[in-house]
A and B are shown apart, each in its own frame.
Chain A
Amino acid sequence: MASNDRRERPEPNARWWVKLFVAFHILAVTIWALPNPHPDYLAGKEQIGVSFDSPGEFVGSLARTITDGFLVWNAKYAKPSFLRFYTLGTGFWQYWDMFAPNPSSVDLWGSASVIYADGTETIYNYPRMADMGYTERYLRERYRKFFERTVYSEYLWPPFTARVALLMTKRADNPVTSVTLWKHTLGVPPPGQRIPERYVDFDFFRADRNGRDWRYFVHRDIGWVEVKAH
């Protein structure tokens, strides 16, 4: 009788281990994709708590306590849990912050000033989207993204200068001796206010060759493996 029951049991939609995997995957991906809490909460500058000052305050603070409290817990304990081996290892890591929490209100592009051994100076124009045609802009948008990250990542400045030196070297007997990185920014004010016409220029990093090879310079500055200077 029992064997008959077993035979009549309908075929499952999927094997048990597939179901287990799907449940695990949903948990891991959800935890990883949850937004980070406001930085002030993580830094301890702002405390999460319920206010009893007024009924409105109470409801608002309670809702914030639940949502932000959950996000703080997630950022502190769930994301760094063993689940990260799965998300980071497989490539399922994800964070959805397109134009979030706020869209950037600063226009940014880059350039570099280059000095040669003979003392002459020239400008290296890093690809700037606004100067390109539609097709080129579409194909080279990664340059904008990369420069945006470069500005905030010091370890990228030395290799950036080395690349610029390489691209700008025209004659072996007149090498590039110095590269200075520039960022040009323009803040967009709130609606109704006049948008400035001029960009503000900042030089944020200078690299001098000092008789050494540019490659050596890069390696030394980001603590890389030992490389012989030519």
Chain B
Amino acid sequence: MRTWLGAVDNYWFGKGTPTALGVFRIIVGILTLINLLIIASGFPDWFGEKSFVPLKAAELYNDNIGTRIGLFGLEKVLHIDPQLPGRAPRIDLLAGTSNPTLIAAFLGVVMLAAIFTAIGLWSKLSSIVLAVGVVSINHRNGLILNGGDTILRMCLLYLALSPCGLSCSVDRLIALWKGKIGPELPQVSLWAQKLIQYNVAVLYFMTFWLKFGQGDLWRNFTATYYASHLSEFRRFWLPEFVNQPPMVYFTSFATLAIELALATLVFYKPARKAVLISGLVLHASLEYSLNIPLFQFLVTAPYICFYAGDEVTGFFRRLGGNRFSRFKVNVPLPAGMKLAPGPANFFAAVDPFGLVTYVPGDSPELSHAAIKKSWTHSLGAWTVGWIPQLWRRLLSKALVSGESALTPKVVKGAKKLVTQ
């Protein structure tokens, strides 16, 4: 019993590196920003008293939480009727607000939080602000939400609960630069990542159950025929045979099979990769054929969470070592200079593929070519490297004189040069 409990504890609360969560945070942050921009593009129609959805209409649509405290039917047996003293609290910072300027400002703040979350700046605060903001917007106007919004809300709430800023974040880069942390990623309990996995499985299992349990069109394998013949949903051209029997029998069956696999087999490690790839294929085909904005991106974004942090790091390193090896470069530093330990870790962290090696050079200054090589070959620098002078300043600030503190990476690079 104790062993079994230990295994369960290790499964749900075991420690590991938060790399997968960091990558997930970046993807979800970007998708949230796009989603908010799409909502903002229809702002006058969706928010304010002159919109299609004035406050009262939005309130009528929202589920009424009520005050009755249900006890799974036990209250009927015991003949009691417990009630909350007042209205149940709900995350809705826009409750009772109809002022479009106020709502627009709120939307602006939430977009800013999405940017900060994506880049991982003040990650804890920004991910919480983002989650609360998006939940509030969802509660303010639920009438325009689709399945993608529900997935997005889940993802953001889990991110807010997770240590997602400990990896792939500006927060981490700043701490590395200042020497407050070492290059090794911290080991943290990954229960939030496990909850994301579980929720994804719930998503697929429940939709499978509903389809197979109650959907006669799914049980006779003609369901995809109907969806593909709705002109309001149609997107890019497909040959007609794809939307006709016997092809629709296959696509309907495949949809059910893949959804069931994504709820079950995905947890079986030998099958995980195949299941996730089949999920990607399913959603890519839906993205091509049906006009359901962002849904396919949002539903596949959490797939990364089925991998441990070390597996994600290893994946990037393998790509850098094999497929991208032709992009490997040596960046010569000025003569007699080296990278200080903290900044050396910083530059290693912005280069997940491990393509850049900083080597001792013989020119008195950092050349323009060296600076360009440094940021263009470091994936993490792409968002800021193009800003004039920024990368030059960072590299210049990172330089210290002397040879005694050469970082292992630089030494390795120098040795390489010698052997060449």
Contact = CB atoms under 8 A, between A and B. Distances in A.
A29 B68 contact: no
A139 B10 CA distance: 44
Contacts of A156: 52-53, 57, 143
A141 B295 CA distance: 11
A97 B234 contact: no
Interface in B277-303: 291-293, 295
B13 A81 contact: no
Interface in B312-330: none
B65 A100 contact: no
B378 interface: no
Contacts of A166: 50
Nearest to A199: B231
Contacts, number: 232
Interface stretch (B41-49, B117-125, B368-376, B405-413): B41-49
Contact of B144 (A92, A103, A128, A146): A146
Interface in B43-90: 45-46, 49-54, 56-57, 60-61, 63, 65, 68-73, 84, 88-90
Given A26-B198, A149-B143, A107 B13 contact: no
Contact of A35 (B61, B206, B216): B206
B226 A103 contact: yes
A171 B288 CA distance: 43
Contacts of A153: 61, 143
Nearest to A19: B13
Among the interface residues B10, B41, B230, which one has the most CB atoms of the partner chain A within 10 A?
B230
B54 to A, nearest CB: 5
Contacts of A128: 232
A92 B152 CA distance: 11
Interface stretch (A83-91, A172-180, A201-209): A83-91
Interface in A79-133: 80-82, 84-85, 88-109, 128-130
Contacts of A59: none
B211 A88 contact: no
Contacts of A139: 38, 41, 293
Nearest to A106: B230
- Tell me what chain B mostly uses at the interface: helix, strand, loop, or mixed: helix
Interface in A132-182: 134, 137-146, 149-150, 153, 155-156, 159-160, 162-163, 166
B210 A101 contact: yes
B100 interface: no
Given A88-B88, A99-B223, A139-B41, A80 B202 contact: no
A182 to B, nearest CB: 15
Contacts of B60: 155, 222
B199 interface: yes
Given A91-B139, A163-B51, A29 B202 contact: yes
Given A78-B72, A129-B232, A191-B245, A89 B227 contact: no
Nearest to A67: B213
A222 B57 contact: yes
A143 B88 contact: no
B109 interface: no
Contact of B210 (A35, A107, A129, A142): A35
A128 B231 CA distance: 10
A130 B213 contact: no
Interface residues of B, number: 90
Contacts of B245: 191-192
Contact of B154 (A92, A145, A190, A192): A92
A215 B206 CA distance: 42
Given A94-B154, A100-B211, A77 B70 contact: yes
B189 interface: yes
A146 to B, nearest CB: 5
Contact of B73 (A77, A89, A95, A104): A77
A139 B40 CA distance: 10
B232 A108 contact: yes
B402 interface: no
Contacts of B194: 22
A188 interface: yes
Interface in B82-121: 84, 88-91
Contact of A130 (B13, B215, B232): B232
B269 interface: no
A195 interface: yes
Contacts of A91: 91, 131, 134-135, 138-139, 153, 157
Given A96-B210, A130-B232, 10 more contacts: A13-B15, A18-B191, A22-B13, A35-B210, A90-B135, A91-B157, A107-B231, A129-B232, A137-B235, A141-B146
6 nearest A-B pairs in the assembled complex, by CB-CB distance: A91-B135, A13-B13, A101-B214, A81-B70, A101-B215, A77-B73
13 contacts: A14-B191, A88-B63, A88-B88, A97-B147, A100-B214, A101-B213, A103-B226, A130-B231, A137-B235, A144-B232, A146-B53, A163-B45, A191-B248
Interface of B: 9-10, 12-15, 38-39, 41-42, 45-46, 49-54, 56-57, 60-61, 63, 65, 68-73, 84, 88-91, 131, 134-135, 138-139, 143-147, 150, 153-154, 157, 189, 191, 194-195, 198-199, 202-204, 206-207, 209-211, 213-218, 222-227, 229-236, 244-245, 248, 291-293, 295
